[in-house]
């Protein structure tokens, strides 16, 4: 295993896994990562992709309810069907239709997904709130062995010296692939839009899947997927983690409590440079500070 110590501005180190120059969580199986280029997709698979801490778990849960056509789905964590965690043999035990998920670049995946027309749901979240959530993730999961301060963490985050590379490089890489496959079934979701009107976004996902449920069912899913209900129902799976990092805060705009003005402006400059030509516009606040749901399933 090729573990790498990444040093922040104060000298604290973050332990990561280096696979062919790309950084991943340190406890991921290297052989599984390398095997993703040959992962055997099924024609009816649905795949959620997102940068870490951007709402992948949240959307994965919603997709499961839509695919199984019930809000009473079994209690599972998304790692059970996370492509960089599990071998194809393990994944093959799950019945169709599978809801897969990952935090990897598309270049790491089997290109067969395009010929099979695998439905892809991509989730984006504003990079400043992601930074705060990712920082707490790195601090509280012992395998990262990180004890640094946020102010010294930001540079490595913006430089992509964290698992899943730079948030802007990740987002732009996926967007370019989407643009190159205009006929492929791909749905782009915004974390902040989901916070603002979850019912609307759940219905959008249902339409993308070709479902035709009554509005009452979409509302039931939205109600079932509030932060408090997901934490109560699923948080026990990670009860060994202090303060349960997989269900932290999820607020839009929490970054204002962490970023200095200079760091915020620095992030904006990097975003402008790396996202040049992008059609994606990050939302750093909610309109009228209105939040109709309070979810932080941003793992």
pLDDT bin (cut points 50, 70, 90) of residue 1 is: low
Beta 119-124 vs 46-50: how paired, if at all?
parallel
* C-alpha–C-alpha distance, residues 293 and 299, integer Å: 17
The DSSP bridge partners found for residue 247 are none
**pLDDT confidence of 240, banded at 50, 70, 90?**
very low
Query: Which residue has tokens 């290297």?
Result: 30
Q: Rounded CA gap, 221 and 204, in Å?
A: 13
Q: Which of 57, 103, 137, 138 is catalytic?
A: 103
pLDDT (0 to 100) of residue 251: 81
Angle between helices 167-180 and 127-140 (to 10 degrees): 120
- pLDDT, tens only, 47-70: 999 999 999 999 999 999 999 999
Question: Residue 290's pLDDT is what?
Answer: 44
Tokens 């492509």: give the residue: 83
- Tell me which DSSP letter residue 262 carries: H
Identify the pLDDT of residue 120. 97
Are 116 and 100 in contact by the 8 Å Cβ rule? The answer is no
pLDDT of residue 235: 59
172 pLDDT more than 60: yes
Q: Give me the residue spans of the domains in the chain.
A: 3-289
Contact 167, 154 (CB under 8 A): no
Nearest residue to 238 via CA among 133, 95, 140:
140
Average pLDDT estimate for 149-177 = 97
- Report pLDDT for 287: 74
Please confirm, yes or no, whether 103 is among the known catalytic residues.
Answer: yes
Please check the confidence at residue 105 and state whether its pLDDT lies above 60.
yes
Report helix angle 56-68 to 198-208, nearest 10. 60
Backbone phi, then psi, for 288, in 5-degree steps? Answer: 55, 25
Cα torsion at 19, 171, 77, 113 (round to 10°)?
Answer: -80
- pLDDT at residue 244 greater than cutoff 60: no
Per-residue pLDDT at 247 exceeds 60: no
Please report which confidence band the pLDDT of residue 292 belongs to, taking 50, 70 and 90 as the band edges: very low
Residues 6+ apart with CB under 8 A from 115: none
User: If you search the block for the tokens 């696979």, which residue do you land on?
Assistant: 19
Mean pLDDT calculated for residue range 170-187: 94
Q: Please check the confidence at residue 175 and state whether its pLDDT lies above 50.
A: yes
CATH code for the domain defined by 3-289: 3.40.50.300
- What pTM value is reported for the model? 0.91
For 179-237, the pLDDT digits (tens) are 999 999 999 999 999 999 999 999 999 999 999 999 999 999 999 998 777 777 655 54
What does the pLDDT look like over 107-149, one tens digit per residue? 999 999 999 999 999 999 999 999 999 999 999 999 999 999 9
Long-range contacts (CB closer than 8 Å, 24 or more residues apart) made by 109-114: 109/36, 109/37, 109/39, 109/83, 110/36, 110/37, 110/38, 110/39, 110/40, 110/41, 112/41, 113/41, 113/45, 113/47, 114/181, 114/184
Task: Identify the pLDDT of residue 241.
Answer: 45
């Amino acid at each position: 295993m090729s573990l790498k110590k990444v040093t922040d501005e104060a000298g604290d180190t973050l332990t990561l896994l280096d696979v062919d120059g790309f950084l991943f969580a340190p406890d991921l199986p290297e052989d599984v990562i390398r095997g993703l280029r040959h992962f055997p997709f099924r024609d009816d698979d649905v795949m959620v992709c997102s940068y870490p801490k951007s709402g992948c778990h949240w959307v994965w849960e919603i997709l499961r309810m839509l695919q199984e056509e019930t809000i009473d789905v079994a209690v599972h964590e998304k790692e059970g069907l996370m492509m960089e965690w599990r071998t194809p043999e393990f994944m093959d035990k799950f019945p169709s239709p599978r809801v897969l998920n990952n935090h990897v670049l598309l270049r790491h995946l089997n290109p067969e997904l395009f010929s099979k027309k695998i439905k892809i749901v991509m989730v984006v979240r504003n990079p400043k709130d992601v930074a705060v959530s990712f920082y707490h993730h790195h601090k509280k999961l012992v395998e990262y062995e990180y004890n640094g301060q946020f102010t010294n963490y930001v540079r490595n985050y913006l430089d992509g010296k964290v698992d899943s590379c730079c948030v802007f490089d990740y987002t732009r890489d996926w967007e370019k692939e989407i643009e190159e496959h205009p006929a492929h079934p791909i749905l782009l979701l915004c974390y902040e839009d989901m916070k603002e009107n979850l019912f609307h976004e759940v219905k959008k996902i249902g339409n993308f899947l070709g479902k035709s449920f009554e509005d009452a069912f979409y509302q039931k899913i939205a109600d079932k997927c509030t932060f408090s209900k997901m934490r109560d129902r699923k948080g026990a799976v990670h009860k060994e983690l202090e303060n349960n990092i997989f269900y932290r805060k999820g607020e839009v705009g929490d970054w204002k409590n962490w970023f200095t003005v200079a760091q915020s402006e620095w992030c904006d400059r990097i975003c402008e440079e790396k996202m040049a030509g992008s059609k994606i516009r990050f939302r750093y606040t909610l309109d009228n500070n209105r939040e109709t749901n309070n979810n932080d399933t941003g793992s």
